[in-house]
Structure formats: structure tokens, C-alpha cells
Amino acid sequence: MNFEMYIEEEKSNIEFWMMVVVGGDDGIVEDDCWLSICTFLMDDDGNHRYLKPLSLVSKQLLSITNRHRYSFTICTPTLLYLQTLCHRFPNLTSIHITEFHLQQNTGSHSVQDGVKAMLMALPKLRKINLYNSYGYYFNVNDSILLNLCKNCEFLEDIVMFNCPLLTQDGIASAIRERPSLMSLSINLPSNGIPNNISSHFIDSLVSLKGLTCLDLSYSQISDKLLSSIAREDLLLRRLVFQYCTGYSYSGLVSLLSKCQRIQHLDLRKANFLNDQHVVQLSLFIDNLMSINLGECNMLTKLALFALVRECPLLSEIKMDRIESESVENSDSSMDFGVYPRLKSLYLAYNSWLSDEVINTFASIFPNLQLLDLNSCDISEEVLTLEVLSLSNSGIDDSSLYMISKSCSGLLQLDLTNCLDVTEKGVMQVVANCTQLREIYLQGCSKVAADVDSMVYIRPSLRKITTPNFSSSQSRMKAFLCRGCLVV
């Protein structure tokens, strides 16, 4: 079916709905009625894909569907049309500008003016997200942030990373204007002096009595800042200090001993942390649900066991890329206990992991659903999982067979760059894992994936990435008709 036929069919369907709603073909459907229909057409995740054909029928329906959009993600091609977008979607409450990089023919001042106009035109805005993963920066200065906080009275969530024009005093003055702020994620400028956090900023931050999320990633902070937050006993639920410098265990323990409501804690690359520190901290964070201790090179598995023992609600632990050389052998006589709450464990790039340690995990984490062992030197795995990443590991067919037998409920398997795996091992997984939906085989040089057999044997498959797959368009469509994307 071509595009024109598709549009005509959708128009006919909409016209039928209109007659059903008004009870005849001469009535006029009120906007409120269409808003109800729009709400009904959206899926459980708030996805707008079902509204697209509706918006093509008439200007009235286009206007109504525009009013039904509350969140918008902006990338480079649309960045210069910010003012137009603001008028088109007047009820936006959340803006995400995440894929931003300037083209050679773009002027940065026009972009800055567009951002400022957008902020002024959206009084209902509740969240602004200025973040990109390309390392480019935004020309957002103190004045823009101040105007944002002054004019958007419902603003609750600010995410502003890679904004080098902001200053500590500018941030402090802006957040003073919005005491109802609940979430602040921002790079804190250093003012050129190590560990120098201005009193103006500290006073403004601790005045946010409703603050539940604080993310100062990649900032230079201080123990004084952490102690000040502790004294005010803020309602923090999420605390992110990944790649932060300038603070120590002393400041951290003063904060966590007071703010004991924290559920999500990110201390990635806090190089001062050792096992004993984690043992002590775990006594204060019994509400914890997830923690990131990746790249904390003084930690061992003893820290992991302390966390699961003292934090009964903990369901996710990240301890990847730890280069510790001081890991002792497991004591088989040690009573580790059983911790069914843990669902996700990220241990990628850890050379200290062994089959013995993994088998210990199998017995103490019976409900583990995701295990990331990317680039770990292990050969066998016996856990009941839904997601398993073994990319860049030395796993072979025999170990893969063991996994397929013990992990029959596996949903996703990543074997990227597993050079010792052959097609025999892959087909054993496909045959034994009856719920498998995704399998990744890029870089598996010994695998000549028989995609037809894989899709036929395991109809639950929805995505297959292969080492060297090439096929005709008709064959690709045939796989898609069976619900499987092959690349």
C-alpha cells in the first residue's frame, strides 16, 4: 500500500468514527469528544504513533492532537524552529534537547535566541532537559536560566549539562526563584578554584526543601557542600555524584548518615572508597534500591556482599570496570545468605571474576534477571536470567550449551565478538531458550547464522544481528512479516 492509499484509508476510518460518535453524518464532533478519543488511542506508555493518521484528516484534528502532546524531544534539524514549535504545541510540560550539535551554517546566537523564546512561550513547562551525548555545549547563560525559573511557575525538573556559560552565582540566583524545584541535574562550575563552592550556591541549594533528586555529575564538589545538605536533612531520594571530585569519605558519610531516604545512589569513580567504607555506609542506606560503584578500584566482592546483606530493598548493583588486584578467593564455608530482591547485576570488565564467584552468585541471587559479564573471563554460567551480556568474553559452545539448559527463560543474549562461539552453540541456545526475543552475533567470526532456521525454530525472536547477513528486500520483508528484524 502506498502512502496516498494509506492516508485515504485512514480518512475513511476517521469519518466512520465521527458518524458513530455523533450518531449521524451531519453532526459536528466537539473538541472535548476528540480529546477523549485521542486519550483512548494513546498506548499505555503515552506513545503518540496512533495519533499520526488522525492528525492528517483535518486542521481541526491536527490542532487537537497538537494540544495532546505534553513532551517533546528536539534534535538539531528542528532546533532553529523552536518558536514555531512552542506555538504549535502549547501544552508542553517537558522539553528534551538531547542530540544537539551545530552545523557549519548555523549561527549560535540564533539558537540561543530560539531557546530563550521557547522558554518564555511555555509557562506550563515542568521539565527542561538540555543534555547531549556528543560533547557539544549549549549557549545557555545565567540570564536564560534566571528567566526560565522566573517565568515557568510549574517548573520541577532542570537538567543542564555542558552549559559552560553558567556560573555558580547564576545558578544560585535562578533556583532561588523556584523554591518548588524537585530535581536538579547540572554541571557545577568550579570558579577556577579547587573545592571552592560559593556560600550563595550552598544556601540556595539547601533552600529547596522539596528537592528529591540531585545530580552533580562531572562536577568538582566539596565536603562542605555535603555537610550543608546533611544539616538541612533534604528529602533526597536520588543522589548522583558520578565522576565527581573534591569530596571525601568524611563528607559522604556525614550526608548519608542524615539523608537516609535515598533510594538511588551513584558514586561512580569515587576512588577513595574501600570495602570497609561501603560496609559502614550500608548501615545508613537501608532504603536503597539501586547503586552504581563502577570504577571504584579499591572495592572487591566483599563490598557487594555487604550491600545485599544490609540493604533489603536493593535490586540493582553496578560494579563494572573495577581493576582491584586484592580480591581473595571465596570462602566456601562462609554463609552468604539468599537475596531474592536483586534483579540486575553489572560486572563488565572485571578480571577478578571466576566461575567459582559466578556460581556463588547463582545460589545467593536466585531471581537475577540481568547479568552483564561483558569482557569477563568466565566459561560457564548457571543462573536463571532474562538478559545476559557476554560480549567480548571467551565463552565457547560447551558453556553456551550449559547456559541454554539452565536459562530457558532467557529473553536477550548478547554474544558480540565472542570469537570461540560457533553456529552449533548458537542453535542450541535458539532451540532451548523458548522465550528468546533478541540475540546479538556481530563479530562472531565462526558463526554463519542460518537465519531461516533460527526464525523457524524460535518464533519468539524479534531481533537478530548477524556477522555477515545480506539478503534481498523481499526476504527481509518476509522476516518482518514474522515479527523479526534481521540486520
CB contact burial 162-200 (16+ within 10 A = b; e otherwise): bbebbbbebbbbbbbbbeebbbbbbbbbbeeeeeebbee
Give the mean pLDDT of 320-348. 72
At residue 120, does pLDDT exceed 70?
no
Residue 349's pLDDT band, with cuts at 50, 70 and 90, is: confident
Instruction: Take residue 480 and report the three cell numbers written for it.
Output: 518482518
Element (H, E) at 158: strand 157-160
Give the span between the Cα atoms of 436 and 279, in whole angstroms: 38
Instruction: Take residue 261 and report the three cell numbers written for it.
Output: 531516604
pLDDT tens sequence across 182-201: 999 999 887 666 667 889 99
Residue 207's pLDDT band, with cuts at 50, 70 and 90, is: very high
Instruction: Tell whether 465 is covered by a domain.
Output: no
SS3 481: helix
Give the span between the Cα atoms of 357 and 381, in whole angstroms: 10
Instruction: Tell whether 403 is covered by a domain.
Output: no
Element (H, E) at 438: strand 438-440
At residue 25, does pLDDT exceed 60?
no
Which range in 17-31, 328-342, 350-364 is most confidently predicted, on average pLDDT? 350-364
Q: Please, which residues have CB within 8 angstroms of residue 476's CB and are 6 or more apart in sequence?
A: 486
Domain count, the chain: 1
Instruction: Tell whether 142 is covered by a domain.
Output: no
Instruction: Tell whether 84 is covered by a domain.
Output: no
Instruction: Tell whether 341 is covered by a domain.
Output: no
In percent, the amount of the chain with pLDDT more than 90 equals 40
CB contact burial 46-83 (16+ within 10 A = b; e otherwise): eebeebebbbebeeebeebbbbbbeebebebeebeebb
Residue 326's pLDDT band, with cuts at 50, 70 and 90, is: very low
Neighbours of 324 (CB within 10 A): 18
For 67, 90, 91, the CA distances from 72, given in Å and listed in that order, are: 12, 11, 10
Q: Are 152 and 123 in contact (CB under 8 A)?
A: yes
At residue 62, does pLDDT exceed 70?
no
At residue 274, does pLDDT exceed 80?
yes
At residue 2, does pLDDT exceed 60?
no
Q: Which of the two residues, 456 and 28, has the higher pLDDT score? A: 456
Nearest to 184 by CA among 240, 138, 143, 112: 240
Residue 467's pLDDT band, with cuts at 50, 70 and 90, is: confident
Phi-psi region of 294 (alpha: psi -120 to 50; beta: other; left: phi over 0): beta
Kindly report the average pLDDT of the chain as a whole number.
Answer: 79
Instruction: Tell whether 370 is covered by a domain.
Output: no
Q: Are 43 and 50 in contact (CB under 8 A)?
A: yes
Residue 381's pLDDT band, with cuts at 50, 70 and 90, is: low
The number of angstroms, rounded, from the C-alpha of 178 to the middle of its chain's C-alpha atoms is 26
Instruction: Tell whether 112 is covered by a domain.
Output: no
- E strands, 336-437, in order: 344-346, 370-372, 387-389, 412-414
Lowest-confidence region among 209-218, 242-251, 271-280, 361-370: 361-370
Residue 315's pLDDT band, with cuts at 50, 70 and 90, is: very high
For 239, phi and psi rounded to 5 degrees?
-130, 120
At residue 10, does pLDDT exceed 60?
no
Residue 332's pLDDT band, with cuts at 50, 70 and 90, is: very low
pLDDT tens sequence across 135-170: 566 677 898 889 889 888 889 999 998 888 899 999
What pLDDT is stored for residue 7 in this prediction? 46
Whose grid coordinates read 531474592?
340
What pLDDT is stored for residue 403 in this prediction? 81
pLDDT tens sequence across 82-99: 666 666 777 766 666 655
Lowest-confidence region among 3-17, 180-194, 360-374: 3-17
At residue 418, does pLDDT exceed 80?
yes
What pLDDT is stored for residue 202 in this prediction? 95
What pLDDT is stored for residue 352 in this prediction? 77
Instruction: Tell whether 17 is covered by a domain.
Output: yes
At residue 64, does pLDDT exceed 80?
no
Strand 94-99 relative to strand 387-389, pairing: unpaired
Give the span between the Cα atoms of 51 and 36, in whole angstroms: 12
| CA-derived radius of gyration, the chain | 27
What pLDDT is stored for residue 171 in this prediction? 96
For 16, 38, 328, the CA distances from 61, given in Å and listed in that order, are: 15, 10, 66
What pLDDT is stored for residue 257 in this prediction? 95
What pLDDT is stored for residue 101 in this prediction? 47
Whose grid coordinates read 526543601?
209
What pLDDT is stored for residue 371 in this prediction? 85
* Global pTM exceeds 0.85: no
Tell me which residue range forms the domain holding 46: 1-68
Give the span between the Cα atoms of 416 and 401, in whole angstroms: 17
